[in-house]
């Protein structure tokens, strides 16, 4: 575990902007958005804007951490050497899970501050965590199967954009996991299926990664 | 003919080339020097990859360049890669096929022409690099660490390739492997710290070290007189090969190019 | 170059790492287009929704552009190419040329979706197809190209930084920033002043498409897309100037100069009349409200003169420019009072001799001083008309809106909504409109975009508009709108009006037969529309701003038009309107409790709840208000069951007509029929 944390730390040392981007989003951009909504004189506007912002930015923000870590193990020049150090048995799932947990922990102070100054945001938090878990799992599985973080990332980003732009369309809404247009308690969110799907993708990805490469 | 006149190159505050002046005519030249002496930078300046901060470089029109690190698109076949370089070098389309196969023959890859670059080993990719440098009958061939990654058999073949080029283009081989220079090159240019230490032949380097190389029994190590430089320990014979201006307790040994090289380098440190 | 193109094509198509994602993007595009066609969408709604797919193009082509151009550098082959003059430059542009057909194909798929929707709905309006084509180019092809060029510019950058930059570019170029920041301002400056420079894809997810206007495609938007293309290409050329030689440096400089011209034009967009339907301070959703809050209406009053002739020369390009020559009925006055919408800046006023006359502008009022009297004025003015847009893309100038000087000081705004100006004496109008669009008017046509005739006013429409005849009635409306106009039975409408007049005691007449019907654009309905604008009747034409124009809605809105539109009785007006149009029905259960309706007495409308400062209390109040509103509807239905619908209609109508009611709406409805 210590070794995993060290690996994560070393990865982020060289990809600092990617590490900082979700933090800046959560602690600077979202408060600005909420403040702008309050300045317009309406709690409703502030809440709508905040929901839109956190749904549009945070799930994909969490993906940046996974991307920064995984691209070293999948696409980089040193990938071969690193895997050889681990005798070909390294699986990134554990570190990605740690990143998910870290992301959730990172958001907690923002959540507490939002609850204190604004309103209880536990339901939004409870929605964000499975979304992030699902997206990371999907990204991990796609990147391992396709052996490319480009393809894995593109898959997830296309879906994310699809949700952001079509969540208001009656025909498409059913396909959207991300709902910037609705509060967590307004939009029926399938917590259990999403968590299970995310877990399944993690397991599949880990299994595939642990198998030796065959010509 | 290649003329390099007072060329300077710096990266930030660090001066990598300090007023290098060279005139290279026909023949095979070895650019020898330790790591960080500026060999690759000088090669890149000659190839036109870098633009020197000062000085001038006059080169022939047709240049073949093999960089230190060579790689091409994995999706292309060997033939397609060569065809691409042939097109870039403006070789007429009708003449391309023959030239490409000729160059591939020289590096013994003609039978792998249809294989994808991604399927080749590192050494084979390097050979493709050598082949593309030979395309177009260049008047100047620049090869930076040409034998890196080649097995002994391939190194021998490379030697033959260079031999076959004698009397044709000017060839400049940049390397820190003294054996390559000794076996392939007519002339040697010694580079150190961004400047040219000396130019000459292999014999010149050997002559420089004549009378200064000693073979000293290992048990007489304590009798060695400073200053000296330990070239190597030969465990099988139990002797030390030592370089020194002062007489040492041992026999004088026949100097090699490496000894001459070390004499120059040690003289600068 | 051909060799480079061949290499680039082979590298792209033989490697799955870029082809598969393209397939994915294409699949998602196709699936979305198909799914959208299954919904009940008007062509213009379909167009707006499908153009959102443009963002996928930015994403894919930016990433693909980056991966393809940086591939050789990662493999270590770049140095070899850099020794051959022009090789790197050639390969770079070959990569771009490899991706361009894919971009074109994907854009063509989106356009194909529009065409399918068009033919499926049996439309016969070719200008709309051209509109779709241009929209796809502006919102899909050009942003995709910008993404591609951005990816190529990032070629030397490491992957994490490149991907981060691309994701930031996607966020900035999409509607996300508009959704989040449009309504706010920082130190008096709207953030959109900055974000608009990156906003390349179709505006705003919340955008309700306007069928007459279509998708916004003003000149400044084209300039923005082209600006980024030019800038990014210039950056690319500059990066390879050593490799490409002097010609490349010159080309980069030329492109940069052209980009600056485009940037300058975009920077001047503040002068243009743009349909900005988001909540930014200058947008149509909030600007007029803010203006009216800051500038209360001045002294109203009828004119002591009338206008005999109007000669209007309009130019609608970036914004509206008008030269209005007004011939008056009398020339002995020293001051002439007019109303001209405040958004138009009066540049000069001259008399018939060409001499300048002094004038004052106070909000919507224009007062012209003529010490020696004058028979004819020529007023030069230009500007923007809020939701009554006039630019190269569309013109929406209904005759009840003072886009030309109307005699007297007239009220254009009351109780939070726009008011229509009617009842002016007829005049002779000569109108000439210089615009690329075909203009439709109530006036007889004398040439292309030229009209002349005697009428109360001149209504001018242009854009995605056509004139059709159904059931002997001439309709001027958008053929691609949400509501495909069915034949409105004007005779039945008149009969229904008679019935309602008998029930409610209304005395006005509603003569519709023989008049042209203008179905107003959605923007009129969606923004600041009060009852006054819903149905406007002139001698020769009618303007309808309803979503569903049926005899019931026309009569209901015309009935409500004359009522005061105070917020204190807004809820009762809504219920009354609902009963007229669809019927509230009867409620034979228990009468709702008066106490349950208390919140409606304290906060007569939903907007009034915004006075509540505490956030928790606000949420609680919203819940209570919603419940109380439902009870109010039930109370109305209960009264109908007790007193009869006709009685309720009459009593409520008389109450709503009263400008000084003695009871609040809740107490009135509760005690319906009781004395004050």
Fold (topology level) of B2-201: Rossmann fold (3.40.50)
- Nearest CA distance, B55 vs chain C (angstrom): 18
Same domain, C141 and C47: yes
Return the pLDDT at C673.
Answer: 57
Give, in order, the Cα–Cα distances in Å from C136 to each of C121, C140, C176, C201: 20, 5, 20, 10
- pLDDT category of residue C101 using cuts at 50, 70 and 90: very high
| C72 with B84: Cβ contact below 8 A | no
Q: What's the mean pLDDT in C206-220?
A: 84
| B73 with C242: Cβ contact below 8 A | no
Listed in sequence order, the residues at least 6 apart from C220 whose beta carbon sits closer than 8 Å to its beta carbon are: C265, C266, C268, C269, C272, C274
Q: Which of C2, C11, C90 sits opposite B73 (nearest CB)?
A: C11
Q: What's the mean pLDDT in B25-39?
A: 88
In C, what residues contact B, Cβ < 8 A?
Answer: 2-4, 6-7, 10-11, 14-15, 71-72, 75-77, 79-85, 87, 90, 242
Helix axes C54-75, C16-38, angle to 10 degrees: 180
Same domain, C136 and C79: yes
Is the model's pLDDT at C336 over the cut of 80? yes
Is the model's pLDDT at C485 over the cut of 70? no
Listed in sequence order, the residues at least 6 apart from B62 whose beta carbon sits closer than 8 Å to its beta carbon are: B89, B136, B137, B138, B139, B140
Listed in sequence order, the residues at least 6 apart from C425 whose beta carbon sits closer than 8 Å to its beta carbon are: C306, C307, C456
- Nearest CA distance, C83 vs chain B (angstrom): 5
**What's the rounded Cα separation, in Å, for the pair C450 and C436?**
13
Q: Is residue C213 part of a domain?
A: yes
Is the model's pLDDT at C668 over the cut of 70? yes
Last residue of a domain, one of C254, C271, C288: C271
Is the model's pLDDT at C220 over the cut of 80? yes
**Under 8 Å between Cβ of C438 and C462:** yes
Residue C17, Cα to own-chain centre: how many angstroms? 42
- Nearest CA distance, B160 vs chain C (angstrom): 23
| C59 with A158: Cβ contact below 8 A | yes
Chain B residue with CA closest to C89: the answer is B88
A212 phi and psi angles, rounded to 5 deg: -70, 150
**Under 8 Å between Cβ of C306 and C425:** yes
Same domain, C22 and C164: yes
Same domain, C580 and C558: no
Task: Assign C615 to helix, strand or coil.
Answer: helix
pLDDT digit string (tens) for C530-542? 777 888 889 899 9
Is the model's pLDDT at A213 over the cut of 70? no
Residue C457, Cα to own-chain centre: how many angstroms? 24
**What's the rounded Cα separation, in Å, for the pair C247 and C268?**
32
Q: Is residue C553 part of a domain?
A: yes
Return the pLDDT at C482.
Answer: 65
pLDDT digit string (tens) for B91-113? 888 999 999 999 999 888 999 99
- Nearest CA distance, B246 vs chain C (angstrom): 47
DSSP structure class, residue C356:
B
Q: Which of C2, C76, C80 sits opposite B65 (nearest CB)?
A: C80
**What's the rounded Cα separation, in Å, for the pair C607 and C666?**
17
In the sheet that C395-397 helps form, which strands lie side by side, from edge to edge?
C395-397, C460-462, C439-441
Is the model's pLDDT at C461 over the cut of 90? yes
Give A33's contacts in chain C (Cβ within 8 Å).
180-181
CA-wise closest residue to B28 among B145, B165, B180: B165
Quick one: which H or E segment has residue B90?
none
Same domain, C531 and C577: no
Give C17's contacts in chain A (Cβ within 8 Å).
146, 148, 150-151
Q: Do chains C and B touch (3 or more CB pairs under 8 A)?
A: yes
Q: What's the mean pLDDT in C615-625?
A: 83
**Under 8 Å between Cβ of C180 and A49:** yes
Helix (H) and strand (E) counts for chain B?
Answer: 8, 13
CB of C178 within 8 Å of a chain A CB? The answer is no
Mutate to test the interface with C, among B48, B52, B70, B75 (most CBs of C within 10 A): B75
Q: Is residue C136 part of a domain?
A: yes
pLDDT digit string (tens) for C595-618? 888 889 888 877 778 778 777 788
pLDDT digit string (tens) for C240-297? 887 777 888 899 999 999 999 999 999 999 888 888 887 787 788 888 988 998 888 8
Last residue of a domain, one of C513, C544, C562: C562
> pTM higher than 0.95, yes or no?
no
Return the pLDDT at C634.
Answer: 92
Beta bridge partners of B57: B4
| A162 with C60: Cβ contact below 8 A | no
Mutate to test the interface with A, among C160, C169, C620 (most CBs of A within 10 A): C160
Give C279's contacts in chain A (Cβ within 8 Å).
40
CA-wise closest residue to B86 among C604, C293, A73, C4: C4
Give C72's contacts in chain B (Cβ within 8 Å).
71-73
CA-wise closest residue to C117 among C206, C61, C45: C45
| C4 with B67: Cβ contact below 8 A | no
Return the pLDDT at C112.
Answer: 94
**Residue C174 structural domain:** 2-271
Q: Which of C6, C76, C83 sits opposite B49 (nearest CB)?
A: C83
**Under 8 Å between Cβ of C390 and C316:** yes
- pLDDT category of residue B233 using cuts at 50, 70 and 90: confident
| B49 with C82: Cβ contact below 8 A | yes
- Nearest CA distance, A149 vs chain C (angstrom): 9
**What's the rounded Cα separation, in Å, for the pair C633 and A127?**
36
Q: Is residue C12 part of a domain?
A: yes
Q: What's the mean pLDDT in C3-25?
A: 90
Same domain, C167 and C25: yes
The DSSP code sequence of B30-84 is EEE--TTSSHHHHHHHHHTSS--SEEEEE--S-EEEE-SS----TTSBHHHHHHH
Return the pLDDT at C287.
Answer: 86
Listed in sequence order, the residues at least 6 apart from A206 whose beta carbon sits closer than 8 Å to its beta carbon are: A91, A92, A93
pLDDT digit string (tens) for C180-202? 777 777 677 778 888 999 999 88
- Nearest CA distance, A85 vs chain C (angstrom): 23
Domain chopping of chain B, boundaries: 2-201, 205-265
Q: Which of C4, C76, C82 sits opposite B70 (nearest CB)?
A: C76
Return the pLDDT at A215.
Answer: 40
Return the pLDDT at A49.
Answer: 82
- Encode B147-190 in three state secondary structure: CCCCCHHHHHHHHHHHHHHCCCCEEEEEECCHHHHHHHCCEEEE
CA-wise closest residue to C273 among C435, C399, C388: C388
**What's the rounded Cα separation, in Å, for the pair B180 and A186?**
75
Same domain, C488 and C634: no
Same domain, C168 and C197: yes
Is the model's pLDDT at C111 over the cut of 80? yes
Beta bridge partners of B213: B243
- pLDDT category of residue B77 using cuts at 50, 70 and 90: very high
pLDDT digit string (tens) for C489-501? 888 888 899 999 9
Q: What's the mean pLDDT in C439-451?
A: 95
Return the pLDDT at B145.
Answer: 87
Per-residue tokens: C247: 């010609």
| A67 with C160: Cβ contact below 8 A | yes
Same domain, C492 and C579: no
Q: What's the mean pLDDT in B229-237?
A: 84
- Total count of domains within chain C: 3
CA-wise closest residue to B142 among B52, B46, B32: B46
Q: What's the mean pLDDT in C136-161?
A: 93
C434 phi and psi angles, rounded to 5 deg: -95, 100
Return the pLDDT at B177.
Answer: 81
Listed in sequence order, the residues at least 6 apart from B39 whose beta carbon sits closer than 8 Å to its beta carbon are: B31, B32, B33, B144, B174, B175, B176, B191
Chain A residue with CA closest to C31: the answer is A172
Is the model's pLDDT at B269 over the cut of 60? no
Same domain, C227 and C254: yes
pLDDT digit string (tens) for C225-234? 999 999 999 9
Return the pLDDT at C154.
Answer: 94
Q: What's the mean pLDDT in A60-83?
A: 80
Q: Which of C4, C10, C84 sits opposite B89 (nearest CB)?
A: C84
**pLDDT cut 70: percent of chain A above it:** 91
Q: Is residue C618 part of a domain?
A: yes
| A158 with C60: Cβ contact below 8 A | yes
For tokens 């499908």, the residue is C50
Same domain, C524 and C654: no
Give C85's contacts in chain B (Cβ within 8 Å).
48
Q: What's the mean pLDDT in B155-163?
A: 83
Return the pLDDT at A183.
Answer: 76
Is the model's pLDDT at A202 over the cut of 90? yes
**What's the rounded Cα separation, in Å, for the pair C616 and C179?**
24
Chain C residue with CA closest to B41: the answer is C79
Chain B residue with CA closest to C15: the answer is B75
Same domain, C576 and C667: yes
Q: Is residue C315 part of a domain?
A: no
Give, in order, the Cα–Cα distances in Å from C47 to each of C215, C345, C548: 8, 35, 21
- pLDDT category of residue C348 using cuts at 50, 70 and 90: very high
- Measured at the CA of C286, the angle between CA C285 and CA C291, to 5 degrees, comes to 135
Return the pLDDT at C676.
Answer: 47
Return the pLDDT at B112.
Answer: 92
Q: Supply the ipTM of this predicted assembly.
A: 0.85
- Nearest CA distance, C384 vs chain A (angstrom): 25
Q: What's the mean pLDDT in A4-14?
A: 74
Q: Is residue C482 part of a domain?
A: yes
Q: Which of A37, A56, A155 sits opposite C176 (nearest CB)?
A: A56
CB of C20 within 8 Å of a chain A CB? The answer is yes
**Under 8 Å between Cβ of C209 and C125:** no
Listed in sequence order, the residues at least 6 apart from C165 whose beta carbon sits closer than 8 Å to its beta carbon are: C150, C154, C157
Q: Is residue C625 part of a domain?
A: yes
- Nearest CA distance, B188 vs chain C (angstrom): 24
Calculate the CA dihedral of residues A158, A163, A166, A172 and round it to 10 degrees.
100
Last residue of a domain, one of C255, C271, C287: C271
Give B49's contacts in chain C (Cβ within 8 Å).
79, 82-83
Return the pLDDT at C530.
Answer: 72
B166 phi and psi angles, rounded to 5 deg: -60, 140
**Under 8 Å between Cβ of C106 and C143:** no
């Amino acid at each position: 575990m210590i070794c995993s944390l060290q690996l994560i730390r070393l990865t982020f040392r060289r990809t600092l902007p990617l590490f900082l981007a979700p933090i800046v989003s959560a602690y600077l951009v979202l408060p600005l958005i909420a403040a702008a909504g309050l300045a317009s004189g309406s709690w409703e506007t502030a809440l709508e804007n905040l929901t839109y912002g956190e749904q549009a930015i945070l799930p994909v923000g969490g993906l940046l951490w996974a991307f920064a870590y995984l691209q070293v193990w999948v696409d980089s020049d040193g990938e071969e050497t690193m895997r050889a150090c681990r005798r070909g048995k390294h699986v990134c799932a554990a570190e990605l899970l740690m990143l998910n947990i870290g992301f959730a922990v990172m958001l907690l102070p923002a959540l507490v501050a939002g609850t204190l100054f604004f309103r209880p945001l536990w339901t939004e938090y409870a929605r964000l965590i499975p979304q992030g878990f699902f997206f990371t799992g999907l990204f991990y599985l796609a990147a391992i199967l396709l052996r490319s973080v480009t393809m894995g990332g593109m898959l997830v980003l296309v879906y994310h954009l699809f949700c952001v732009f079509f969540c208001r369309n009656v025909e498409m809404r059913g396909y959207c996991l991300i709902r910037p247009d609705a509060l967590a308690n307004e939009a029926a969110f399938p917590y259990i299926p999403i968590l299970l799907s995310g877990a399944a993708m993690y397991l599949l990805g880990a299994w595939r990664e642990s198998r030796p490469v065959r010509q | 003919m290649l003329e390099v006149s007072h060329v300077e190159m710096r990266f930030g505050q660090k001066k990598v080339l300090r007023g290098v002046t060279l005139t290279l005519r026909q023949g095979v030249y070895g650019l020898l020097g330790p790591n960080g002496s500026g060999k690759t930078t000088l090669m890149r300046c000659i190839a036109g990859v870098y633009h020197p901060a000062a000085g001038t470089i006059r080169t022939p029109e047709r240049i073949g360049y093999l960089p230190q690190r060579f790689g091409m698109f994995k999706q292309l076949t060997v033939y397609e890669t060569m065809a691409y370089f042939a097109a870039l070098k403006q070789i007429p389309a009708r003449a391309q096929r023959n030239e490409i196969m000729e160059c591939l023959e020289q590096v013994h890859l003609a039978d792998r022409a249809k294989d994808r670059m991604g399927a080749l080993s590192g050494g084979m990719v390097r050979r493709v690099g050598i082949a593309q440098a030979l395309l177009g009958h260049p008047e100047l061939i620049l090869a930076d660490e040409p034998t890196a990654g080649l097995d002994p058999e391939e190194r021998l073949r490379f030697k033959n390739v260079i031999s076959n080029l004698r009397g044709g283009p000017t060839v400049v081989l940049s390397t820190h492997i003294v054996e390559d220079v000794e076996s392939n090159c007519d002339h040697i240019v010694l580079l150190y710290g961004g400047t040219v230490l000396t130019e000459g032949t292999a014999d010149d380097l050997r002559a420089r070290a004549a009378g200064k190389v000693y073979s000293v029994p290992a048990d007489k190590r304590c009798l060695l007189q400073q200053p000296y430089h330990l070239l190597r320990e030969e465990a099988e014979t139990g002797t030390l090969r030592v370089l020194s201006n002062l007489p040492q307790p041992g026999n004088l040994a026949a100097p090699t190019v490496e000894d001459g090289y070390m004499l120059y380098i040690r003289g600068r440190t | 170059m051909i060799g480079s193109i061949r290499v680039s094509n082979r590298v792209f198509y033989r490697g799955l790492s870029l082809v598969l994602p393209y397939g994915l993007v294409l699949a998602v595009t196709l699936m979305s287009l198909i799914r959208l066609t299954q919904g009940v969408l008007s062509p213009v709604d379909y167009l707006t929704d499908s153009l959102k797919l443009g963002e996928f193009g930015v994403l894919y082509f930016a990433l693909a552009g980056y991966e393809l151009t940086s591939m050789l550098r990662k493999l270590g082959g770049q140095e070899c190419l850099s020794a051959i003059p022009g090789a790197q430059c050639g390969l770079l542009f070959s990569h771009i040329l490899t991706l361009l057909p894919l971009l074109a194909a994907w854009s063509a798929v989106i356009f194909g979706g529009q065409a399918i929707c068009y033919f499926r709905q049996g439309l016969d309006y070719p200008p709309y197809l051209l509109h779709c084509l241009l929209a796809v180019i502006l919102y899909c092809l050009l942003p995709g190209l910008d993404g591609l060029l951005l990816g190529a510019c990032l070629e030397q950058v490491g992957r994490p930084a490149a991907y981060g930059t691309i994701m930031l570019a996607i966020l900035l170029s999409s509607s996300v920033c508009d959704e989040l920041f449009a309504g706010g301002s920082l130190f008096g400056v709207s953030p959109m002043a900055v974000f608009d420079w990156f906003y390349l894809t179709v505006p705003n997810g919340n955008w309700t498409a306007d069928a007459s206007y279509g998708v916004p495609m003003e000149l400044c938007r084209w300039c923005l897309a082209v600006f980024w293309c030019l800038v990014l290409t210039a950056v690319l050329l500059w990066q390879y100037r050593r490799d490409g030689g002097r010609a490349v440096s010159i080309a980069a400089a030329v492109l940069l100069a052209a980009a600056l011209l485009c940037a300058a034009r975009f920077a001047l967009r503040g002068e243009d009349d743009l349909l900005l339907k988001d909540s930014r301070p200058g947008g149509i959703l909030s600007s007029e409200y803010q203006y009216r809050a800051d500038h209360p209406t001045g002294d109203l009053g009828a004119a002591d003169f009338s206008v005999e002739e109007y000669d209007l020369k309009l130019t609608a390009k970036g914004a509206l420019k008008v030269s209005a020559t007004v011939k008056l009925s009398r020339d002995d006055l020293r001051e002439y009072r007019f109303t001209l919408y405040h958004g138009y800046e009066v540049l000069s006023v001259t008399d018939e001799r060409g001499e300048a006359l002094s004038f004052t502008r106070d909000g919507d009022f224009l007062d012209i001083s003529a010490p020696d009297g004058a028979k004819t004025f020529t007023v030069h003015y230009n500007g923007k008309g809020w939701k009554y847009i006039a630019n190269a893309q569309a013109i929406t100038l209904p005759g009840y809106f003072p886009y030309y000087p109307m005699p007297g000081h007239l009220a254009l705004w009351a109780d939070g909504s726009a008011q229509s100006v009617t009842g002016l004496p007829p005049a002779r109008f000569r109108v000439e409109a210089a615009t690329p669009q075909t203009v439709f008017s109530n006036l007889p046509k004398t040439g292309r975009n030229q009209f002349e005739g005697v009428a109360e006013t001149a209504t001018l429409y242009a854009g995605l508009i056509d004139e059709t005849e159904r059931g002997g009635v001439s309709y001027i409306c958008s053929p691609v709108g949400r509501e495909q106009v069915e034949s409105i039975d004007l005779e039945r409408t008149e009969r229904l009006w008679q019935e309602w007049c008998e029930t409610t005691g209304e005395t006005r007449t509603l003569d519709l037969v023989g008049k042209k019907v203008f179905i107003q654009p959605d923007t009129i309905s969606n923004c600041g529309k009060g009852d006054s604008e819903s149905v406007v009747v002139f001698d020769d034409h009618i303007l309808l701003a309803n979503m569903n124009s049926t005899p019931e809605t026309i009569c209901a809105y015309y009935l409500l038009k004359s009522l005061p539109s105070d917020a204190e009785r807004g809820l009762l007006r809504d219920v009354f309107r609902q009963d007229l149009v669809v019927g509230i029905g009867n409620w034979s259960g228990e009468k709702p409790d008066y106490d349950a309706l208390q919140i409606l007495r304290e906060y007569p409308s939903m907007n009034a709840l915004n006075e509540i400062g505490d956030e928790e209390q606000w949420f609680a109040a919203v819940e209570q208000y919603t419940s109380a509103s439902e009870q109010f509807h039930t109370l109305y239905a209960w009264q109908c069951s007790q007193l009869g619908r006709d009685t309720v209609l009459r009593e409520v109508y008389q109450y709503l007509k009263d400008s000084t009611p003695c009871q609040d709406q809740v107490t009135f409805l509760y005690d319906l029929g009781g004395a004050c």
